[in-house]
Every structure is written in C-alpha cells, then in structure tokens.
Amino acid sequence: MAKLECNGLTKIYQDNRKALDEVSFSVETSGIFGLIGRNGAGKTTLVRILATELEPTQGSASINGLNILTQEDKVREKIAIVPQEARAIRWMTPKQTVFSYLLWRGYSMRDAKRLADESLIKLGLQQYANVLNSKLSGGTKRKVLIATVMASEAEVIFLDEPTTGLDPISRRELWEILRDIGKTRFIFLTTHYLEEAEQIADRIGILKDGRLVSIGTLAELRKSSPYQYSIKLPPKTQVPPLKDAAVTVSQSGYTQIMTHEAEAFSIARLLSEQGIKFSITPVTLDDIFFHLVGQKVRENHET
C-alpha cells in the first residue's frame, strides 16, 4: 500500500525555535488527510519539509517509497503544493496561470494547453479562463491555484490552509471540489477549521506545539480520546458529582461535561431521575481537539 511516512521529523529554526519535535506517523496516500493545529503548531513547517522546500534538522520521511532527502527530484515529480501564502498573479488570467505552471513543470506546449483547459473545466472555471485574476472573487482565485496543481497530474497534492479567509459558501464549494479530487489523488491539507477536517478528511492528525498528539479517522480519534461523550447542561443547573470528567462552561453559561461511557451513563441516569434537562452526544472533533490541545478545558469539579 502506498504511504507517506515520517520518522522522527524535527525542525529547529535558526533562532532555536523548535517547530517540529520528533513527528512520526504513516498514512495511506489516498483520499484526504487533514492536519489540524492552532497557529504556530508547525503545520506549514511539516508541509514544507514533505514538499522538499525545507530540510528537517533531524529525521526523515518518504512519499510512496521515495525518500524526501535522498530522492528529492523524484519526489518533486510526484507532488504539487499550494503554499499558505500563494496568491494568483493579479495581471495574469486563470488560463495563463495554469498554462505557465505546467510549462515550468516541464510539459510540452501542447500538453500544457490541453491539461490547463481540462483542469479549468473540471473546476468550473471556463467562464473566467480569460479574465484577469485581479477581477476574480477570493473563492475563485483560490480555485485557480487549485486548478493549477490539479492540472499537473501530481499524485500527491499539498494544500496549506486552502480555505482560510474564504466566506462559508466559497469554503463549501471548495470542499466539494476537494472531495472530488480526493477520489483519484492524495490530498494532504492543513487547516485550523475543525469543521473542515470533520467534513472532508478521511484521516486527521492533530499537531500541538510541534508534536503529533493524535492521528486516525474521526472514529479512531474518538475511541482513543479519554472521553467519548459530551453532556450539556443549561445555565444555572447544579452540576452532578463527577469522578473522571472534564468540565467547561461556555460564555453563555452552558456547562459541558466530557466523560467516558460508564460515567456518562450514570450521569444521564441521575439527571433523568432528577428531571434535569440535558443533552448527550458523542464527542465532536472540536471536543477532542480542545481536550488534547488543552484549551478551554478545565479539569474536574471546577465550574
């Protein structure tokens, strides 16, 4: 099975900042892998290392059997990347943007023209093909960048925060496109929108301060989380006694209790017996993330 594998990837920048700390994992290179983490978690650093733009301080990685350090030219033929800071050139058209990228990658004029046209059609950009990028909406500009890497026939596509800053409608449109691309290529995307990972990623990795703290399908992350259930109580409700649970209170006064199945069961029974209103759901990616990353969660009994 084709895989992307990282072994102890560590990156220490010149100012001694450790951006990645022994990151090791392995994912199948099919479908969509979503790497989530807060700003500064190390997402871009990891993507740039895998895309052979940056050398790790320690460790190694391979993509479909090709070593990123010793076979970087071969790796580059197989991958394409839209970096976080990428912007479509204002005075070029989408057609020129895709076409010139393909020429740069080594395609002949004829192939570049054919692949550019196909890619623009696939992303629904034909009507904008000859309009200046500067005249396009933010969502359409982002689609142009994706059309560019798509056109290249790369097997592995890295997208660093492809939907950051887009309005919710454009974001959803892009999700549809990415799901479609994910059927035939491997997409490695980073995001800090948990909903995005939940909606489109087949597998998810959580990065915290340069360390990979969890990886798997949403179901696997849920299983490996210490807490599988979330119970919500309306404001001013007395919180029942808890043994092993994490409690948070939202700004609007709702109390959230995250706990494992046995305790969730006994809390739910107690609340029902006392006629107290509550809701109970399996933990979401948000819940898992905030628990692992340690934000907003206050342990036990503190309410």
Question: Binding residues for Mg ion, per CB under 5 A?
Answer: 43-44, 84
- 167, two tokens: 């309005």
Find the residue with minimal CB distance to Mg ion. 44
| Binds 252: which of Mg ion, ligand ADP, none (CB < 5-8 Å by kind) | none
Contact 56, 20 (CB under 8 A): yes
Provide the binding-site residues for ligand ADP, judged by CB under 6 A: 13, 15, 17, 19, 37, 39-45
User: In angstroms, what is the minimal distance from the CB of 39 to ligand ADP?
Assistant: 4
Listed in sequence order, the residues at least 6 apart from 176 whose beta carbon sits closer than 8 Å to its beta carbon are none
The C-alpha atoms of residue 159 and residue 175 are separated, in whole angstroms, by 12
Pair type for strands 298-299 and 245-249? antiparallel
| Binds 94: which of Mg ion, ligand ADP, none (CB < 5-8 Å by kind) | none
| Binds 95: which of Mg ion, ligand ADP, none (CB < 5-8 Å by kind) | none
User: In angstroms, what is the minimal distance from the CB of 47 to ligand ADP?
Assistant: 8
| Binds 17: which of Mg ion, ligand ADP, none (CB < 5-8 Å by kind) | ligand ADP
The C-alpha atoms of residue 267 and residue 248 are separated, in whole angstroms, by 16
The C-alpha atoms of residue 112 and residue 98 are separated, in whole angstroms, by 8
C-beta atoms surrounding 123 within 10 Å: 24
Q: Which is nearer to Mg ion, 35 or 267 (CB)?
A: 35
User: In angstroms, what is the minimal distance from the CB of 295 to Mg ion?
Assistant: 18
User: In angstroms, what is the minimal distance from the CB of 14 to ligand ADP?
Assistant: 6
User: In angstroms, what is the minimal distance from the CB of 78 to ligand ADP?
Assistant: 23
Q: What percent helix, strand, coil does the chain show, rounded to 5?
A: 35, 25, 35
